[in-house]
Amino acid sequence: MRAAVYYNNRDIRIEDRPRPRIKDGEILVRIESSGICGSDVMEWYRVKKAPLVLGHEIAGTVEEVGSGVARFKVGDRVTVAHHVPCNTCRWCLAGNHSVCDTLRTTNFDPGGFCEFVRVPAINVDRGVFLLPEGMSFEEGTFSEPLGCVARGFRLAGMSPGKSVLVIGSGISGLLHVKLAKALGAGFIVATDVNDYRLARAESFGADLVLHASADLDAEISRRFGRLCDMVVLCTGHDSAIAQAVECVDRGGTIIFFAPKEPEETYPMPLFRLWRDNITLKNTYASPPQDTLTAIDLISSGRVGVTDMITHRLPLDEAPEGFRLVAEAGESLKVIIEPQR
């Protein structure tokens, strides 16, 4: 089968790879749609593992079913989680699925930027989800990224009426804007350095869009009379973290959605956090309950996602897709369609 193999952000090679063979309890999925995630071009993280086939936002059709699989059959339309929790360790039982050792080590074989993937038995058990009738494959690819966003809001206690500032309006930031709108946010502010993305944020429901160089706290206070109950960091730059602390209201929450590199640090203003009772929340991954929430949000029409797709490319054009995502210009979600 054909696969787009990652060597670095500028070196994606279309190679022949063996079609995976499944075992008992496993399924083989024919990939119809696979989204390029911003983390796929996080080169400092990816290149040390290269060469490899990336792609974890997938949807497709069940091609083969291994012995013992009862819940799925050939022809089923599915989306598949690449990371799944054990659901039995002390972290899972406490609701902290993203720090489960099993979640951090599970994956499918080889990755979504190819024609077929083998889904291991543990993923089949708790990480394969039927697409509702009427939900397209490309919509299915959003179940994982929207699930990650839903988890962050859930853990941070998002509720109707709360104001939200999204710092960084890439695809994850824009999904936060859309979900905040769907959940009845009091007002939504979005920032970025890219005018194209600011325009999209406004069209997706942001009440105020500001260039990242603006005096954010002053502009937000002038427009709404107060600061924001929740601030979502969709970038790990120091300047963005400083803005988050400046713009969160007393009693508010800062969600660290994007990471810094492993050895990087940031001097936090601990007195201000203590005095104003600011909560810091970290979020990573989309455990099954959040993926199911995302599927419901998309299939019900509460969160539309097809208007976020700017490029649909065949597998042979995956290098161009990676370029578009890495350059972060006038593109949002790039979808690879391996069967074209």
Amino acid at 83: H
Q: Which two tokens stand for residue 214?
A: 């603006």
Q: What pLDDT is recorded for position 18?
A: 96
pLDDT at 45 over 90: no
Q: Across residues 309-328, what is the average pLDDT?
A: 97
Amino acid at 125: D
Q: What pLDDT is recorded for position 129?
A: 98
Q: Could you report the per-residue pLDDT of 271-281, keeping only the tens digit for each?
A: 999 999 999 99
Q: Across residues 86-95, what is the average pLDDT?
A: 96
The domain locations on the chain are 2-142+305-337, 149-282
149-282: same fold as 2-142+305-337?
Answer: no
pLDDT at 109 over 90: yes
In contact, 232 and 152? CB cutoff 8 Å = yes
d(CA 156, CA 280): 9
Q: Across residues 205-227, what is the average pLDDT?
A: 98
Percentage of the chain beyond pLDDT 70 is 100
Q: Is-above-0.75 flag for pTM?
A: yes
Architecture field, domain 149-282: 3-Layer(aba) Sandwich (3.40)
Q: Across residues 245-255, what is the average pLDDT?
A: 98
- Measured over the CA atoms of residue 143, residue 311, residue 305 and residue 153, the dihedral's sign is positive
Mean pLDDT estimate for the chain? 96
pLDDT at 243 over 90: yes
In contact, 152 and 257? CB cutoff 8 Å = yes
Q: Which two tokens stand for residue 327?
A: 């350059």
Architecture field, domain 2-142+305-337: Alpha-Beta Complex (3.90)
pLDDT at 165 over 90: yes
pLDDT at 199 over 90: yes
Q: Could you report the per-residue pLDDT of 53-74, keeping only the tens digit for each?
A: 999 999 999 999 999 999 999 9
Tell me, what DSSP letter sits at residue 130? E
